[in-house]
Amino acid sequence: MQRVMIIGQPGSGKSTLAQALGRRTGLPVVHIDTIHWQPGWVERSYDEKTRLCSEVEARDRWIFEGGHSVTWDNRVSRADLLIWIDRSSALRFWRVLRRTWHHRGNSRVDLPEDCPELLGNLPEFFRFMWSTRRSARAKMKELIAKAPEGCQVVHLRSNRQTRLFLESVSKASSLAPRPQNEA
């Protein structure tokens, strides 16, 4: 396992899984929100996001979680593992509310500095989550269906499945040597 692509809708647990997987494997973790946003909640241009995603995808080793779906075909063609975290809307809304409350006024580890969680942003974000819930899931389902033959696909639908998956990676990765340097 050298290149891991993690997809899922907001609040599904992509960042949490990516961080846990990074600790277990030693692979560098890239969060799409650090590409999407600049400090102060300034959104990067479409072209700049695409360029930055392409730079990450060209690397030899990564765990890359998140969207910018226009780059998914290239990303999945390079990935040896594609993980889809597929959770209910109710759970995802609850998780987004909980993380926003917990981190209010502060930036999360998966965001650039000076991007504090703000309760006032929730209504707009919830509208986005609601309006894209079906179309985003359909797009992820389509990506899974067309994943290349050499790319293992894991579809996680519960906390138990996620825990068992991480335990299996822990066992497997403890046997594999870790590289000394990151290029």
pLDDT of res. 120 = 84
What CATH number is given to the structural domain containing 78? 3.40.50.300
- Please indicate, yes or no, if residue 181 is contained in any of the structural domains: no
pLDDT of res. 182 = 39
pLDDT of res. 174 = 46
- Please indicate, yes or no, if residue 183 is contained in any of the structural domains: no
SS3 180: coil
Q: What is the pLDDT of residues 11-48, one digit of tens each?
A: 999 999 999 999 999 999 999 999 999 999 999 999 99
- Please indicate, yes or no, if residue 176 is contained in any of the structural domains: no
Amino acid identity, residue 34?
T
- Please indicate, yes or no, if residue 179 is contained in any of the structural domains: no
- Please indicate, yes or no, if residue 152 is contained in any of the structural domains: yes
Cα separation values, 132 from 10, 77, 137, 167, Å: 10, 25, 8, 32
pLDDT of res. 177 = 42
Tokens, residue 173: 């990765």
Q: What is the pLDDT of residues 58-114, one digit of tens each?
A: 999 999 999 888 899 999 999 999 999 999 999 999 999 999 999 988 888 899 989
Amino acid identity, residue 181?
N
- Please indicate, yes or no, if residue 144 is contained in any of the structural domains: yes
pLDDT of res. 171 = 58
Cα separation, 87 vs 119, whole angstroms: 23
Cα separation values, 170 from 7, 21, 24, 153, 182, Å: 21, 8, 6, 18, 20
Task: Please compute the mean of the pLDDT values over residues 131-156 and round it to a whole number.
Answer: 95
Contact (CB, 8 A) for 71 and 50: yes
Global pTM reads: 0.90
Give how many domains the chain has, as a whole number. Answer: 1
Domain range enclosing 12: 3-170
